[in-house]
Structure 1
């Protein structure tokens, strides 16, 4: 606690630490938290039941079959991995660019990345049919000298997702160590002191600690930024590498990366407005932060719109009858509802963010972000099934209808994400207090200079 004679700046810094660490130590919204936690764990129970049915009865309980052998399990995988991209962009890239406004958003955005990648990374394992054999796609030293098929997209997924998850986890944990120490020092109960003390790894704030910390933090940021591009580019190559009409496009890597950032910034915006309202964090997550999130969402959305236009142009320019048929199926065929749903939800409400007062309005920003999140799910759905259901041969045509267990697993994955995020909010500092104080100190020094 700051002394009575301390300067206003030091008292303000102490207030930031007290506010951030006070949320996990003296949780102010216990009743509301329990309500949402019970709802999330109910969906998580549905996830467990759906996975158990899948293990017992096999992937035949899903609706995917020939020719649509990729169901919404794969579209959900792409959707979840995409959501996780914004956390890395906000934290790592803006850290390297020295953008201090990220400090109020990076901690819970990084946590969102971790939980979204977990939700997405489980889908390829569940999709294997024999998920308990997932380690076969790892290059472990087998006594039979059988190595994984490195040209298989499943192997690409394993390396891409595992690398992204590992680097994101290390980056998040290193960045949170000073705040774990602050929470440890303010904890009054012995279990809390031990818990946060173990997480703090003996941090005492010595000059040597800070020097090593800055080196490790920036090194992880430099490693994480290329992964944003490489991971979703790899996912796009799962499509572009196959001889499927509508997928063999060179625009896919940037199209997928921008679409991932688009959906990710939308989810970060929803989380920011929700946490800001629930915990009264208007002095930390300010109108400027909402404005910047709105700008980033708008920019990524307009670049994603270019990908839509490019796809249509490429199909028309090619003149290939199969490409034109796929384009017709998207615009006016059986999956036109998903195409136009994606276009309308992604780009019509998005135009509201051209207005600064709506970007800074939490309700408007939340509504636009929710529309974008749903629209990007529809875009993944459309991209998969409008191409797979109609192959080159008429004998390979066939519709796709997701089964109940596919929908239940998807709903359960949302419960898994919410459960993990609610536990994070309840137990750990959700905002980087020390980085906010550091940015304020630098601003004061700049004004003095």
Structure 2
């Protein structure tokens, strides 16, 4: 799909629709509206960014072989396509997912602050499933996962269905899960307490009802005694009065379930804006400690560890000029991954749209790769024109066309040889992206 053509057609259709509603007769008003259109006041340029590459944390199969995970996890967490598919290969974890697993194994509470599409859900589902397998306790709820929206709970229910039931015999389905979101009928709600699942997916409103309705409160107390995990997804949504309500709800739940050793997990793509990640860790740890009512160590605030997909971040001027010419030259040969990763223009694009280095907190400390702030295509093309010495508006437009062409080559070559799909991803509907165009990077 040509995302730039889609965007252009979308703006064209909206513009024609809005202009068809009124016939402007006053020339001064018509000139003003034309000036607005030329200046892109109503339809500004979209922000562009690249999905980054993550450092690997090893495969689930490797962790199971090392004894970090139970052997059953290797059969559960695989790349599955349909209900009868056992999966050809186990998932490859990102480093932050492995760090989350290590944090869970210490029984410390932790917070995962990584970007959208980074597999945050797997960073708590995997350690929960592993704990359930190690300490079964049939008939008891071991983990409650709280979502701010039912759409997220429903999406996660599907992911759990895929991992814990697809391609498995009835006897091999050893971890049970259920939803209690207010969308279930009475029979389904009753079944939750007649045969308590290992993992309960809910929202904070329904969790409040579970603690206040006399009948349900008694059932929850019996089913969730000694609760092991409480997960708050999208932690940044709990602020102000709502945050105070949820903080009190968390404390009441811990008391009701007689769970003094309850392990808290929070996830969020956006929690704090700081100069360095270490500063963000301290800030997020303070917020999470107040919300959870337990101490969260700054080192247990886990961020993403990024890596470059291309070979270098500093191509020369001559290399960039040649790469721009090559991108615009007519060709029928598609780039392979290694070819694209070594292309000077692709390297420049990743540094412009994808990655930046945050300042080191201490002298001599290695720089940390972070996501670049989104930019627009015209701004990037002006920067490329300056870097290559392209002259005038024609030179800028050539640079813009070259950037578009290179970005379009990304999707067909987005996987490294032998790479596994991104684990733990959610439905694309989970976050509105009306103001940004997110283009894929050169890896899965």
Q: TM-score scaled by structure 2?
A: 0.25
Q: Max radius of gyration: which structure?
A: 2
- Structure (1/2) with the larger strand percentage: 2
Larger helix proportion, structure 1 or 2? 1
Higher relative contact order (CA 8 A, sep 6+): 1
